[in-house]
Amino acid sequence: MATHPPVHVLDNYYLAITLLITVAYQLIGFAIAFTFKFDKITDFMGGSNFVWLAIITLAMGGSTHPRQIITSIFLMLWAARLAGFLLFRILKTGKDDRFDDKRDKFFSFLGFWVFQMLWVWTVSLPVTILNSPNVLRVPQPSFGKATDIIGIIIFALAFGLEAISDAQKYRFKQGPGKKPGAVCDVGFFKLSRHPNYFAEIMTQVCTYILCRLMFIQMALLTDDFSYIHNRSNPCKLRRFVVQQRRIRSIVRQLCRLHPPDKPSVVPVWTSTTGTPRCEEALREGRRLARI
């Protein structure tokens, strides 16, 4: 079910359009920050960029599948909290010491913004690809499997850990009599040097876990991610459709000869038509389809 057909922009994985949006958004932020020599929007522009990419790709994809919606919302929640906290912190402190030696130097300051572009675009890739037209073209695996539940639970724990750790460190730094550069040793920081960074990494790992089953589906059905061809090329599309029909026919025959209850065949999942898809059958089907 989809609200509308996926919108194709530049490429079918939304890689180019999200990169252009990110570059443009960050350059606007750089121009404002460099012109007025202040740090109020630097981190906020980075965090809010994630939110815009998730909203735009989800809207262009038009999918109402739970996997796309939940994963996009998780990315937006994490980024909105991070951007809001960093904006609050800079408004309270007044400036960011990281930019004291860069704020007046065009290329040094621009270098930070370029790194921020790469960080935003790269970390957003799982959600960007998940919402793209080429992924939405293949049958979507059902949401709610064990890996999905594990991903949701770990995300909730990591999200809470990051928020609490950020608050603990902020209160420690703003406490009376604290010297600049003092090492935080309260709360979770008694157990780890950087619990907030660890939690941030885990939230992104959980995002990939939620996307992973869809990526495996793509790999099993198309050999590799790049094999699904652009609809604008009729010859390649026709060849792809013919090959997929041959693979499905061979898979059905092989699964009848080797039922998935035999130990020699490992079932992966069941298709929407009820036909068991076996790992060995898919592999053999791909090989025979090329003969």
The conformation of residue 215, written as its DSSP 8-state character, comes to: H
How far apart, in whole angstroms, are the C-alpha atoms of residue 245 and residue 251? Answer: 10
% of the chain residues with pLDDT over 70: 70
pLDDT tier at 101, thresholds 50, 70, 90? confident
Helix axes 146-174, 66-93, angle to 10 degrees: 0
Q: Which carries the bigger pLDDT value, residue 77 or residue 264?
A: 77
Output the pLDDT for position 229: 44
CA distance 240 to 228: 7
Stretch among 36-45, 84-93, 255-264, 269-278 having the lowest mean pLDDT: 269-278
Which segments of the chain does DSSP mark as H helices, in order?
15-36, 42-61, 66-93, 106-123, 125-130, 133-136, 146-174, 195-222, 234-257, 279-289
| 219 and 225 Cβ atoms separated by less than 8 Å | yes
Give the tens place of pLDDT for each residue, 198-257. Answer: 999 999 998 888 887 676 656 555 544 444 444 445 565 566 666 666 666 666 665 565
CA distance 45 to 34: 14
What count of other Cβ atoms lies within 10 Å of the Cβ of residue 103? 17
Give yes or no for a contact between 281 and 255, defined as CB atoms under 8 angstroms apart.
Answer: yes
The more confidently predicted of residues 238 and 99 is 99
pLDDT tens, position by position, 128-169: 988 888 888 777 778 888 888 998 999 999 999 999 998 988
Q: How many CA atoms lie within 13 A of 106 on its CB side?
A: 2
Instruction: Please check the confidence at residue 97 and state whether its pLDDT lies above 70.
Output: yes
- The CB density around residue 1, as the number of other CB atoms within 10 Å, is 7
Binning pLDDT at 50, 70 and 90, where does residue 93 land? confident
User: Which pLDDT belongs to residue 193?
Assistant: 85
Averaged pLDDT of the chain: 78
Going by pLDDT thresholds of 50, 70 and 90, the confidence category of residue 121 is very high
Per-domain boundaries in the chain: 15-227, 234-289
Question: What pLDDT, on the 0 to 100 scale, is given for residue 231?
Answer: 47
Going by pLDDT thresholds of 50, 70 and 90, the confidence category of residue 78 is very high
